[in-house]
Every structure is written in C-alpha cells, then in structure tokens.
Amino acid sequence: MIRALPALIVIVVLIAIAIFIADRPGTVELDWQGWRIDTNVAVLALGVMLLGALAAGLFHLLRRLITAPAAYLRWRRERRREAGFRALTQGMVAVAAGDPEEAIKHSRRADTLLADPPLTLLLSAQAAQLNGDHDAARRYFSAMLERAETEFLGLRGLLMQALHAGDEAAALKLVERAKELRPKTPWVLHRLYQLRARAGQWVEAEATLVEAMGRKAVEAATGRHHRAVLLHEQSRAAEAVGDTAKAAALAEKSVTHDRTFAPAAIRLAQLQNAQSRARRAIRTLLAAWKEAPRPDVARAFTALFGDEAPLQRLKRVEKLVAANPEHAESHLAVAEAALDAKLWGEARRHLMAAGAGADHPSPRVCRLMARLEEQEHGDMAAARAWLGRAANTPVADPAYVCLHCGAELAEWSAHCPRCHEFGSLTWQTPKRAAPAPLAQTTAPAAIPPPTLIDITAPR
Ligand SMILES: [Zn+2]
C-alpha cells in the first residue's frame, strides 16, 4: 500500500488537472512556418505530456547506451572476483584435506583471478609446503614480509620452516622480529623465551618468560619451574666467573620459585657451605628433602660433612629423612647408610618398608636386598635371585624423565641431552609397558600425517 502511494498521488494529480481543464474549455491556435493547428486546450495538454514522456524515454535509453561498456566491465570484474574467492576457498579446503595437487591448482587460479597477493600468498605458500616444495614456500613467505598486512604471517611461516630445519639461530632472529611487530602475542612470547633459553641466553630468556607468564602464555606451574631453571643456570654462570655471592643469591631465588627443584637446592647448599655457612647449607637440604626426597639430595647432604665413619653417616641420614620419614626414598637412604654401617637388621627393616616384600619391588630395592643377602649371610644364591628380580621387575626406579622425548637420565641438566628441549627433565618414576601377551597380533602401521607446517594454529 505504501509503495503504491506515489503512483496514486500522480493519478490523482492528473485527474485533477483533467477536471480543471475540462471545466475551463478553450481553443488553441498554432501557426508556424506554414503549419497551422487548431485544437482545444485538453488535446494540447495531452500532446505536451506525450512529448515529455517520449523525451524522458529517449534520454533514459541514451544514458543506458553510454554507460553500457562500464557496466559490462563491472559485471565481469565481479564475476572474476567471485570465481577467485571460490578458488581461494577450494584451495584452503584442499590444504586442510592434505591434497597438494588440488591446492596448487586452486591457488594458481585464485592468484590469476584475484590479482590480490595478500589474499593468495598464504594459500600459495601452504600449497607449496604441502607439495614438499620448501624453497617455493620460503619465497612466498618472504614475499609476505614485503606487505604490512601479511608480514607477521610471513614471519611465522619462515619461523616454522627454520624450526623444522633445525636452524634455531635463524628462528630466534625471526621470532625477535615478530615480537617487535606484535609484542603481546602469546605464542611469540612463548617461543621467544624457549629459543633464548635453548641458546643459553638465560637473562633474556628469564625476562621474556616473566612477560609470557604475565600474559598467561605459559602455564603457571611450568612457568615457575622454568624460571627456577633459568635462575639456576644464571647462578652457574655467575659462579663460573668467580662471583660466588651473586651465584648464591641466584640459587636462593631459584629455590624460592620451585621448592621441588632439587638441583637448585643442592647448588645453593654447596655455595653456602663454600661460604662457611654450613648451618644454612644443612637447613637448605633438610627443606629440600621435605619437598623433594631423592638420592642426589642425600649424597649432597652427607658430602657436607666430609669423609665420616659409616655409623656417623647413618646418623646424618636419619636426621635428613626425619621431616619425611615414610617416603620410599627416605627408607632407601637409611637402608643404604645402614648397609655401609653393617647394621643388617636396620637395613632389612627399611628395605621391607621400601617395598622389598611387595610383588614388584623396584630395581634399587632388589639390588640393595642382594647386597644385604651377600654381606650379612654370604648367601650368593639369594643375592643372585635378587639381582635377577632387579633385571626383570616391571617397575622402574625414579629418574629424571624428559617430558618431551621420554629420555630417562640419572643426572639433571637444563636441556635434555637427547632432544635438547629446555626445562623438560622432571623427577618421576618412568612408566614401564606391561608385559606383552603371548598371542599378540600385529597392528597395521599408522598412516603418517602430511608434513604440513601449521602456521595458523596457535603454538
Ligand atoms: Zn628430551
């Protein structure tokens, strides 16, 4: 109804004009260049209106004719753009589906149709990667660096390539540039502190880690442990240049960030002892045993007192474990010291408490039992039986286990010696696979995933 209103108004106005003219009759006489027209006013008005309509129609047609080529070009451009975006979408889908041929076909088509490099460079780079053409992918990622809107994404692509190739120096430079572009991006902070730590830039790595923790780019517990490791390494570096006071201060800071991180407590105690602060050193290791009882802490503790008689050493160990007496490590530490002191009953009691009577005692319990049987009674058969159990028991002794590659190590280090991951070694009992059943069927080999470097997903 509303839409018909203008037409209705026009009709009403026309009828009003017609009535107005009909009510006032009259004649019109035209004489021009030998032409003569005699008519009345109504016919003249109609004639003028028809002429006006004809002129308007002609004008409209002329305008359409003039603008036709431009409109045609616009329509064609729009069609190309639509086809380009369709190709772009299909290309992205092909990348996600791991189909390199389709991805390359669509990326070329999108590139031709859209002629808009920022849009198509990423697809071209990913298609090249999928096809295993890393040089082409590097060219596309490098081209992305030239444009502000794609620079960050290009950096990320090159960074992933550098990491994939194991070139950590290049990766560090790239991620530093990424940090300049987007200093708050979580994955940039996370990657930057890890690469700095891997490069041994302990101070810079710690500063970046603190920033990353502030932005929740690192899980809090992991962040605290990694910070403790970075401080521990700074302490080592300070000691290496003879600054023992700074080394001790850094070790103390390391301990406060992660009280379960025994290597820092051991280092702190050794530095305190070297500074003639023996009582402090003892307190440091007593606190460490409460949080993290493990053999290296016990060794560091007895070492504080120099070469003592076995019975005296046993008394030291008993004092050490007093804060955490029921822990298996406490029983093992006392049992070992009791064996040295030839207190067989005491040793046996602690070994039983550490699991010697269980179905599956740990290898360390078995080895100490073998030693006890041999030294107490000279029972070589029983000793051999215990050594056999140590070799075949399905449980493992706790060790420093790499959370990244699963390596098991007796000694702690900041980087895993096998995979070079930073801060990945944690003290734990490695899991042992259950014995395989006899009628084991071979599972079909898994199909390896495509070797696409994902540059879009976070971390
Ligand atoms: Zn590892």
pLDDT per residue as tens digits for the range 384-433: 999 999 999 899 999 999 999 999 999 999 999 999 999 999 999 998 76
CB 209 within 8 A of CB 184: no
- State the pLDDT at residue 311: 96
Ligand 1 centroid – CA 185 distance (Å): 27
171-175, 248-252, 354-358: the lowest-pLDDT one? 354-358
| Residue 447 belongs to a domain | no
- Give the pLDDT score at 41: 77
Classify residue 338: in a domain, yes or no.
Answer: no
- Work out the percent of the chain whose per-residue pLDDT is above 90: 64
Res. 450 pLDDT band, cuts 50 70 90: very low
Phi, psi of 182 (to 5 degrees): -135, 85
Please check the confidence at residue 128 and state whether its pLDDT lies above 70.
yes
Q: Is the confidence at residue 446, as pLDDT, over 60?
A: no
Q: Which amino acid is at 162?
A: A
| Residue 426: inside a domain | yes
> How distant, in Å, are the alpha carbons of 126, 144, 336 from that of 160?
12, 14, 50
Per the model's pLDDT, the better-predicted residue between 88 and 187 turns out to be 187
Q: How far is the CA of 261 from the centre of ligand 1 (A)?
A: 18
229 vs 222: CA distance, rounded Å: 11
Cα(90) to centroid of ligand 1, in Å? 39
pLDDT of residue 442: 45
Q: Is residue 20 domain-resident?
A: yes
CA 403 – ligand 1 centroid, Å = 7
Domain count of the chain? 3
User: Is the backbone of residue 437 left (phi > 0), alpha (psi -120 to 50) or beta?
Assistant: beta
Are the C-beta atoms of 81 and 73 separated by less than 8 Å? no
Residue 444 lies in a domain: no
Of the residues 101, 131, 161, the one at which a domain ends: 131
Domain-embedded: residue 367: no
pLDDT of residue 375: 95
Q: Which range of residues forms the domain containing residue 106? A: 83-131
Stretch 270-297: mean pLDDT, rounded?
94
How far, in Å, is the centroid of ligand 1 from the Cα of 412?
12
Mean pLDDT of the chain: 89
pLDDT band at residue 1, thresholds of 50, 70 and 90? low
CA of 457 to the centre of ligand 1 (A): 24
Give the mean model confidence (pLDDT) for residues 243-266: 96
Report how far residue 394's alpha carbon sits from residue 21's, in angstroms, rounded to the nearest whole number.
115
Domain membership of residue 417 (yes or no) is yes
Q: Which pLDDT value is given to residue 200? A: 94
pLDDT of amino acid 110: 85
> Residue 414: inside a domain, yes or no?
yes
